Structure 1
């Protein structure tokens, strides 16, 4: 009964949070806690199942997470190798490989602690598991809600469509990842026109140290060359980060249409974090995602989660330290 009440309570909090503002990380946490309570209630219901059925289900409940964890580790390592081959050895391209190796490291730590029965090693393993479970729970909350957020429709008409920039090839050319954003931005613009709206499209991106022109200019040129009306494009050419993309684009919008609404276009892996930043910078708009190559998604998603995790570092590191201390104390007294 307690699990049922918990699930219902957190589903209500989740629904209220989405209705108030879908751009909150708390929505992801409420959903995750609600689903955890659903899982607990499901396990509780097994006691009423016929003999034999409950045992089989419990074995599956125990085996699936273990097999799933091993499968994820193998997938992440394979994906990491592919990322390095295709994108190079930049630190951000190594994230999926490092995450997979970290999972294997935790599995090795578990095996070593059980086989040696070393008290110090058991304490280290127990505290590590508590911290890993906390971070893993937040990560699952993040990817589950990011998936849902990406499928929520933008209601009504808007005044602006903002396309966020990324790096240029050779300092001048739009790469495929950015082209996907621009094509999605064009599609959103045309959908708004079909609804009776008259939006302006903002290309947002400044000039990096290795670029020969601002990203906003290259993006606008890309669209105009493909038939997009030049008089419907505004260029925001000062920003260097996503937060600056949003802040400087907001200044352009406020200058022309105070109190305006917008749709922000980025890649699908980046949509939820961009939405969190849009809320923080006071931009009145939702975010939609453009397609991304499948091999690029795992490392990019891990990077996005890490950025969100670190944006709440006081709380998250505080919880990790508390769990570590509790785990050490509990295992020490065993």
Structure 2
């Protein structure tokens, strides 16, 4: 059982970290490392046992891994095409398609390097494979922990419910994506009210250059038209992005009640990154997500992951530099051989 000790230790660190602060990306990485160590321990036990079935199991795992990569690539490609048809051509809508092409490019490079075995191709394949493994690991950590975070229990009491804006259509109309957030905000508000509280709902969003009014005003009007009490709505109408949504809403909450607690509402694909931002600006509260159309979720998740990579760019630049140095070392070693 000693081979499972690193996994057990990492899982213990993960549990303690989540209890202290659930809004940390390091939680996702530690959980991923714990799972990797557990799998490595399991494979070691399997090989060390000398069982006749061990080679079969290992080959089965390799085949399953290859099939998973193939299925994922096809899924990303089809989703990318669907995004272009439904949402139009824009850099953010191309993420699924670009991810599929990147996977194919890495596979092609690895196959070419294995066939030709030239030093330059070996170095390039080593670097590309290392980068692919690194970002794939981080992405799996992100997806799994974001799923887990979205299912953690919300505090029983809160003084405010903050609904983040996401843009209007035709200058003044609340789109389905934003309507989903508002409906989730109403549900959270109703649940908190049933527990004996009387929270204020803050609609957060400023006015864009192509909008006839601030998002927060359209959001508030949408809620009030559906019967939500107007006296329980506050409007934050200066923000232009998620960080400003949270900073300006924080100012409203602190002015009304310095020791406030809140629940922030956004879409499920955006909830974990919004939680990381909330921690950075020192918001006292948890973020919850509302449903998103199935076709929109993969591309939106890739966009959120990309934004998190940018937020932690220093660490990622260092890791990428080390992986590229590994590729240079492999090129040098192959050339000397």
Q: TM-score range by the shorter chain?
A: over 0.9
Q: What is the CA deviation profile of residues 270-318 of structure 1, one whole-angstrom value per residue up to 9, with x for unaligned ones?
A: 0000000000001001000000001101111011011111111111111
> Where in structure 1 are there 5+ consecutive unaligned residues?
none
Determine the structure 1 residue equivalent to 2:74.
74
Give the 3-state SS of the residue equivalent to 2:152 in structure 1: coil
Please tell me the root mean square deviation across aligned C-alpha atoms, in Å. Answer: 1.1
Change (3 A) 1:2 1:319: farther
* Structure 2 residue 276 is the aligned partner of structure 1 residue 276: yes
1 CA distance for matches of 2:154 and 2:271?
13
1 CA distance for matches of 2:298 and 2:130?
24
Determine the structure 2 residue equivalent to 1:301.
301
1 CA distance for matches of 2:63 and 2:21?
38
1:141-152 matched pairs, under 5 angstroms = 141-152=141-152
Determine the structure 2 residue equivalent to 1:324.
324
2:122–2:330 Cα contact (<8 Å) kept: no
Determine the structure 1 residue equivalent to 2:211.
211
Determine the structure 2 residue equivalent to 1:242.
242
Q: What is the CA deviation profile of residues 52-106 of structure 1, one whole-angstrom value per residue up to 9, with x for unaligned ones?
A: 3212211112112211111111110100000000000011000001001110111
1 CA distance for matches of 2:155 and 2:67?
41
2 CA distance for matches of 1:123 and 1:332?
8
Give the 3-state SS of the residue equivalent to 1:294 in structure 2: coil
Give the 3-state SS of the residue equivalent to 2:295 in structure 1: helix
- Normalising by structure 2, report the TM-score: 0.97
Aligned pairs, number: 334
2:126–2:326 Cα contact (<8 Å) kept: no
1:160-309 matched pairs, under 5 angstroms = 160-309=160-309
Q: What is the CA deviation profile of residues 134-173 of structure 1, one whole-angstrom value per residue up to 9, with x for unaligned ones?
A: 1111111111100000010112200000000011010100
Determine the structure 1 residue equivalent to 2:109.
109
Q: CA deviation at 1:195?
A: 0.8
Give the 3-state SS of the residue equivalent to 1:108 in structure 2: helix
Q: What is the CA deviation profile of residues 18-43 of structure 1, one whole-angstrom value per residue up to 9, with x for unaligned ones?
A: 00010001100110000000110110
Give the 3-state SS of the residue equivalent to 1:57 in structure 2: helix
Give the 3-state SS of the residue equivalent to 2:296 in structure 1: helix
2 CA distance for matches of 1:200 and 1:23?
23
